[in-house]
Amino acid sequence: MRRYMHDHQLTVPDEQIDAVNDHLQPNSPAERHMKGLAAASVHRASLAEYLAELARKFPGVKGIERTPQQYEVELCKMRITMEELAQEKVKVGALEIHTRDHIANRIKDLASDANISSSLSGYALWKDNQPSVITKALTPTPQNWEEVAAKIRAIPLSDLRDATAIHQQAAALWKDMVSNMTRMFQSMRAPSYASLSDHPAQTPGPPQPRQAPLAVLAPPRSQPFQPRPPCPPQMGGDYVPTTEELAQLQTILEQVICVAQPDTPEGQATYAGQVAKWQSNNRATQAAGMLRIESTGFPLKPGTVIPGSGEYWWCGMPAHRGGECKSLVPDKERRFRTVCDQWLRPQRGPAPVAPPITPVNNVGT
């Protein structure tokens, strides 16, 4: 392509961009996207920016065509950070726009691609990941994603500056506190030269026998399987549930298992909707501090195993090494798995034990 431009002496950015468009495959996603930009009279500053936009929109052959469910999952997982808001302006193409406007445009585009612009699907899950300066601006609850983008665009810049200044001060104080504690512990761990000179040199004595077996003295990583960290159930480790509570928990567990989703893009989108619905139904109970996870249950993360099957509570997967735990389940799901494991597994009885092997001596040939 560059040789073609050199041979035809194409030096004007518009001519170079038109040459690239002419070489795109007819009726391809890239051609349709660029024709849409040309129809909308989007400003094209240079060939480099045009190619960067093309590479960002189409990073590879696979995954160009994305489903609306994938866009909805991306919108629910979107997180606005205070560091991003502290920049105030970002450069988009040849223009500089405010960060709040850029964030509002991203939300509007993702909602449009997911076909949920006129609804509020996934809003509760999205709102839990945002800073307080954003959530305060969204009160009362908007009607759809278009209104969410409009409210973010209407946030006063003075409020954003004050919130970012408070965040930066808190981050600086936390950094100073951590550095001071580190220096304090290092000074406590390392004795001074004067204290070392006060003690006479000690000659090593004869080696002493081990006082503990090798399995106790070995480091934790040498064990093939790590024990699960202590995590008491919802109502305390010594609590003995009643028959009615066990029956209720068994019913809740069966209902949760029936709606469990596979680890696919469609399953992830359905799971996000289940979590949002659960939070909407139990928001008042959580605010009052009266939530009982054994009575409400919690949606299972796609790809995890059934609760109470001896799984690792923190990730919902079968037994594995402690360092192989790649992703964690939400805190409420971990609590639900803990209650199911400690309440329901004792009802199934202990695992069968093989009979002892009796040694046989003096076997004749």
Q: Report the 3 state secondary structure along 283-302.
A: HHHHHCCCCCHHHHCCCCCC
Let me know the angle formed at the C-alpha of 310 by 312 and 252, rounded to the nearest 5 degrees: 95
**Confidence band for 218, pLDDT divided at 50, 70 and 90:** very low
The two three-digit tokens of residue 104, written as one number:
């509002």
Residues 298 and 318 in one domain: yes
Is residue 148 a contact partner of residue 138, using CB atoms and an 8 Å limit? yes
Cis amide bond preceding 140, omega within 30: yes
**Confidence band for 343, pLDDT divided at 50, 70 and 90:** confident
**Final residue in a domain of this structure, among 110, 139, 158:** 158
Q: What are phi and psi of 306, to 5 degrees?
A: -70, 135
Q: How far apart are the first and last CA of the chain?
A: 86
Does 302 map to a domain?
yes
Does 62 map to a domain?
no
Residues 316 and 284 in one domain: yes
Closest by CA to 329, choosing from 308, 312, 344, is 312
Does 217 map to a domain?
no
Residues 23 and 85 in one domain: no
pLDDT at 270 over 80: yes
Identify the residue with better confidence: 82 or 15.
82
Residues 301 and 342 in one domain: yes
CA dist 159 and 131 (Å) reads 13
Q: What are phi and psi of 29, to 5 degrees?
A: -60, -35
Does 63 map to a domain?
no
- At 201 the pLDDT is 59
pLDDT at 194 over 60: no
The two three-digit tokens of residue 2, written as one number:
């560059």
**Final residue in a domain of this structure, among 38, 57, 76:** 57
pTM summary value: 0.38
**Confidence band for 307, pLDDT divided at 50, 70 and 90:** confident
- At 351 the pLDDT is 43
- At 62 the pLDDT is 47
- At 49 the pLDDT is 77
Does 329 map to a domain?
yes
Does 323 map to a domain?
yes
Residues 45 and 135 in one domain: no
The residue to which tokens 């209407």 are assigned: 154
**Final residue in a domain of this structure, among 102, 128, 158:** 158
Least confident of 75-84, 206-215, 294-303: 206-215
Is residue 339 a contact partner of residue 253, using CB atoms and an 8 Å limit? no
CA dist 67 and 55 (Å) reads 20
**Confidence band for 231, pLDDT divided at 50, 70 and 90:** very low
Identify the residue with better confidence: 176 or 10.
176
Is residue 312 a contact partner of residue 326, using CB atoms and an 8 Å limit? no
Domains contained in the chain, number: 3
Residues 150 and 257 in one domain: no
- At 185 the pLDDT is 83
Does 44 map to a domain?
yes
Residues 255 and 322 in one domain: yes
- Domain extent for 147: 68-158
Percentage with pLDDT > 90 across the chain: 8
Sign, Cα dihedral of 144, 150, 154, 155:
positive
Per-residue b or e along 278-312, where b marks 16 or more CB atoms closer than 10 Å to that residue's CB: beeebeeeeeeeebebbebbbbbbbbbbebbeebb
The two three-digit tokens of residue 227, written as one number:
């024990």
Identify the residue with better confidence: 8 or 345.
345
Does 212 map to a domain?
no
The residue to which tokens 């399953």 are assigned: 267
The residue to which tokens 């994603």 are assigned: 145
pLDDT at 279 over 80: yes
Let me know the angle formed at the C-alpha of 152 by 147 and 158, rounded to the nearest 5 degrees: 145
Least confident of 61-65, 82-86, 166-170, 210-214: 61-65
Element (H, E) at 215: helix 214-217
Residues 344 and 238 in one domain: yes
Mean per-residue pLDDT of the chain: 77
**Confidence band for 148, pLDDT divided at 50, 70 and 90:** very high
pLDDT at 154 over 50: yes
Residues 72 and 53 in one domain: no
**Confidence band for 362, pLDDT divided at 50, 70 and 90:** low
| Radius of gyration for the chain, computed over Cα atoms and rounded to the nearest angstrom | 30
Residues 344 and 237 in one domain: yes
Residues 291 and 270 in one domain: yes
Residues 95 and 31 in one domain: no
- At 152 the pLDDT is 92
- At 64 the pLDDT is 46
What letter would DSSP give residue 306?
Answer: -
In this predicted model, what pLDDT tens digit does every residue of 89-140 receive, in sequence order? 887 655 788 899 989 988 988 898 888 988 888 898 898 889 999 989 887 8
Identify the residue with better confidence: 201 or 334.
334
